Chain A
């Protein structure tokens, strides 16, 4: 099978479309989360989304829906949005520290998932596809949901990038400047929840957050500046998501794990390149002098 055949094959067309959407959206949200030092939020929401999957399954069982997991993704969407709003509420008004609140979200999400799936007549095996990601579970309604979520996330994340970057970069200044700080924080939390829902089918709830955070870390090894970091992270994530998916076509491996390992590979490559070029520059006095003299830096 050539890559061109893959694009036209029914089995892979949907996963490939979702992979591109994940690659575009996850780093946009990730850039804001990294800036807010909330890198683990996506992970917490991934766990909560599992409870949502199980609740969706339970409601589906009551309604005798076919297939049984018809409402799993809508359930994940609702649960992760509620989880995101809860974290934001704790962050602003709560007396619990943010990392403890996140930890409770992790444990509550996974515990809720395994208990409720059993109540729905399933087993924790039914959750495996959502935990680790899978290609075989992607359906046409999933693609429709993914497109809608991606349009919303990209619309907010790129359309309001100036405002979101200002608030996440310096919250005190943003308040003093009259910017809608609380609204922006809620928007970012909701964007994270939508991205988790959009990504969990393929990447899996346990690895969703990696695609938000690792491409941003990788981009930071090669470029500077907020907007350039975001654009580079998007490019890295799209290439890794597509590349990872194509690898799993030829080798029987879980797509989520392969995609995440690829992004980590890019990050390590970036780190090594940065270290090597740094050494070369230190050995080259002319380059060092140019770097030290601010007036030589072009505008």
Chain B
């Protein structure tokens, strides 16, 4: 699915950096969370971002997306500073927390329609066909008019994925897209991601376990205490073996990684 608005810039060429951080540090309140992170994601890659809880994965995503300002270093999206610019129009983001925190629950259709908004388009069409296409892609077309907070955790997560897909992004940034989703649906969503990757969509995925995407990752980046401790082929890490990994309980992989990261 390619961006199809008249405002879209030329699609990124293979090898072009879509995400680039240099010596990026972020402090939240008084707590330093990221320390000098260098990360480069090129067009066409599917990169997993792994690490234990609290290792800084979500903060790194938020800094890359310009939501969290860097305290040092830089973060760039499509070659532009992450805090501004129209680069955001070319990406889709699935946050870790599903909203529903708002006091007035929006329906799945309304939530996905909001994904059509971007810096140059503030007036989404109420019945844009792309909305139902995106809901169908995540298997939720039947629940289009159900308020999102009244859905199960897995259904809510799929609504968030549909909201990211509806704008047909070149880059997908996904924060634990499989959390709370049953295995059958994980396979369905993973198949969708594979299809998008085959069409050229670049993906940065925060994962607890490589699970359903294990065979498709081009690279794995492992964070520990806010620092990159591995950036390379996922198969070089024994703990990322797909067959083994899939059966692991949540958190086990992190323990395995933790042991390898700190051999001493």
* Chain A interfacial positions (CB closer than 8 Å to B): 31, 34-37, 159-160, 162-163, 165-166, 168-170, 172-173, 175-180, 216, 220, 224-227, 229, 294-295, 297-299
Assuming the A-B contacts A173-B95, A173-B99, A299-B145, are A160 and B122 also in contact, with contact meaning beta carbons closer than 8 angstroms in the complex? yes
Contact A173 B104 (CB under 8 A): no
In the assembled complex, which residues on chain B have CB atoms less than 8 Å from the CB atom of A34? 103-104
Assess the A163–B122 pair: CB atoms within 8 A: yes
Q: Which residues of B contact A (CB under 8 A)?
A: 62, 65-67, 85-89, 91, 93, 95, 99, 101-107, 110-111, 113-115, 117-119, 122-124, 132, 141-147, 150, 155, 163, 167, 173
Taking a contact as CB atoms under 8 Å apart, the answer to whether B110 and A165 are in contact is yes
Q: A170, B99: Cβ atoms under 8 Å?
A: yes
Once the chains bind, are A179 and B102 in contact (CB under 8 Å)? no
A38: nearest chain-B partner, CB-CB = B103
Within the assembled complex, what's the spacing in Å between the Cα atoms of A162 and B166?
15
CB-contact partner of A224 in B67, B88, B107, B111, under 8 A: B107
Hey, which chain B residues are within 8 Å of A224, CB to CB?
105, 107, 147, 150
Does more than half of chain A's interface fall in helix, strand or loop, or is it mixed?
helix
B140, chain A: closest CB distance, angstroms: 9
**Contact (Cβ within 8 A) B145 A298:** yes
Q: What 8 A-B pairs have minimum CB-CB distances, sorted nearest first?
A: A178-B88, A166-B114, A176-B65, A170-B99, A176-B93, A178-B119, A225-B107, A299-B144
Contacts of B101 in A (CB 8 A): 170
Q: A160-B122, A163-B122, A227-B110 are in contact. Are A175 and B117 (CB under 8 A)?
A: no
Give complex CA distance A166, B124 in Å: 11
25 A-B pairs with CB atoms under 8 Å apart are A31-B104, A34-B103, A36-B102, A37-B103, A162-B113, A162-B117, A162-B123, A165-B106, A166-B117, A168-B102, A169-B106, A172-B67, A172-B95, A173-B93, A176-B65, A176-B91, A176-B95, A177-B115, A178-B85, A178-B89, A227-B110, A229-B104, A294-B143, A297-B142, A298-B142
